[in-house]
Amino acid sequence: MDFNLTAEQQMFREMFADFAAREIASQAERIDREEAIPQALLQKIAGQGFLAALIPEEMDGVGLDAISYCLLLEEMSRADFSVAMLIGIHNGLGIKPLLDFGSGAQREVYLERMANGELIGAFALTEPSAGSDMAALTTRAILTGDYYLLNGSKIWVSNGDVAGLFLIFARMEPGVTAFLVERDTPGLKVGYREKTLGLRGLSCHTLYLDDCAVPTANVLGAVGQGLQIARQAAEFDRLGLSAICLGGAEQALAAGIRFSIDHEQFGGPIARKQAIQNFVADAVTEIEALRDLVHHTAWLAEEGEPFGHRSSMAKLFGAQVAMRTTDNMLQLHGGYGYMKEYAIERLYRDCRALAIVCGTSQIQRFLIARHVYQGANLQLTIND
């Protein structure tokens, strides 16, 4: 058993960390305040190849292995949660389904433009009555000649302000089908942007579909395969999210350590108080446990082994570690942690979404328990 990163993975990590420290970290406060990721930064991110992270080298991508991809998201998130989320959604929920289910022609049309940032990816599944219960979605598709007409609406579509290609799920017998829908498709309207607690650089929009005319060539995978595509994409995305949790927790811990050395009470730095050391010791222990879980899950994915239940565990634990760490590091800051002047206030708000997005922690627990009981020959269903 070798726990070391390979020389290439180590090199990638240093490159990601260097870029994040130079280009992103200093902009994090501004991204939160202005509620947008600057276009110039997005272009630099594209220039680094981060938007082509998962595209194989033979398709002119960067071809990161799963561990390196997790290192990318971890390092981005050490600098800014919103930037990491944008990159994760684009790669994990935009490009990955296209790689896994797309036809040769679809890859030809979209991959290069997604790789260079011309088209940012977005994933439109959730509806007001179809959140955890994704199969309950009511957006409909009807075939008319060479087009499908999509009607309905989607909520909380991340990357909505910058996305050029939406993966939209709609009901059509048999079952649910996934469609690749370009932003300028007639009948597609990117609507209301939500006001959010955190992750303010990541825009969450409502999508309106009013006889949205999608060419038949833009069905992803087979007709009726939509839920399988969504589930497979979510399994992989949860792995990426767990790496984002890891990076965010590390960022919070670093802020806490700095503050505890600089801030004095009772005649010395608060770092000398055991209560403060306990916060730090607990955080670093959980962070290292999370790192192992993330890397092991990524290794399974890379080996082609089943990893879905592991990515649920990594995402569940990751959200807990990120939330506990930011909460405790905010507490360590005392009143300063509550003030916008300190980054921990932003991290505390940002990381709250991680227990909700891409399947809540309650749903992850169900998926994990279902896997466990399968081993004991008891089949659990979500409707139990």
Residues in contact with ligand FAD by the rule CB under 6 A: 89, 123-126, 131-132, 156-158, 199, 204, 353, 356-360, 362-363, 366, 382
Least Å distance between CB 164 and ligand FAD? Answer: 15
The residue (of 221 and 359) whose beta carbon lies closer to ligand FAD is 359
Distance CA 24, CA 41 (A): 8
Least Å distance between CB 39 and ligand FAD? Answer: 20
Distance CA 115, CA 60 (A): 9
DSSP secondary structure letters along 244-269? HHHHHHHHHHHHHHHHHHH-EETTEE
The residue (of 259 and 366) whose beta carbon lies closer to ligand FAD is 366
The residue (of 81 and 279) whose beta carbon lies closer to ligand FAD is 81
Least Å distance between CB 13 and ligand FAD? Answer: 27
- The two beta strands, 120-124 and 163-171, are parallel
Q: Which residue is nearest to ligand FAD (CB)?
A: 131
Gap between the terminal Cα atoms of the chain: 40
The residue (of 238 and 291) whose beta carbon lies closer to ligand FAD is 238
* Amino acid making up residue 364: Q
Least Å distance between CB 93 and ligand FAD? Answer: 7
The residue (of 298 and 353) whose beta carbon lies closer to ligand FAD is 353
Could you tell me the two tokens for 29? 């406060």
Neighbours of 278 (CB within 10 A): 12
The residue (of 123 and 342) whose beta carbon lies closer to ligand FAD is 123
Contact 12, 69 (CB under 8 A): no
The residue (of 180 and 204) whose beta carbon lies closer to ligand FAD is 204
Least Å distance between CB 88 and ligand FAD? Answer: 10
The residue (of 64 and 351) whose beta carbon lies closer to ligand FAD is 351
Least Å distance between CB 162 and ligand FAD? Answer: 12
Could you tell me the two tokens for 88? 């994760």
Least Å distance between CB 45 and ligand FAD? Answer: 18
Question: Hey, which residues does 177 pair with through a beta bridge?
Answer: 170
Cα of 28 vs its chain's centroid, Å: 17
Residue 198: strand, helix, or coil: coil
Least Å distance between CB 100 and ligand FAD? Answer: 18
Could you tell me the two tokens for 199? 């992750």
Distance CA 353, CA 24 (A): 20
Strand stretches in the chain, DSSP E: 120-124, 140-144, 147-158, 163-171, 176-182, 188-193, 204-215, 219-220, 264-265, 268-269
Cα Rg, the chain, nearest whole Å: 21
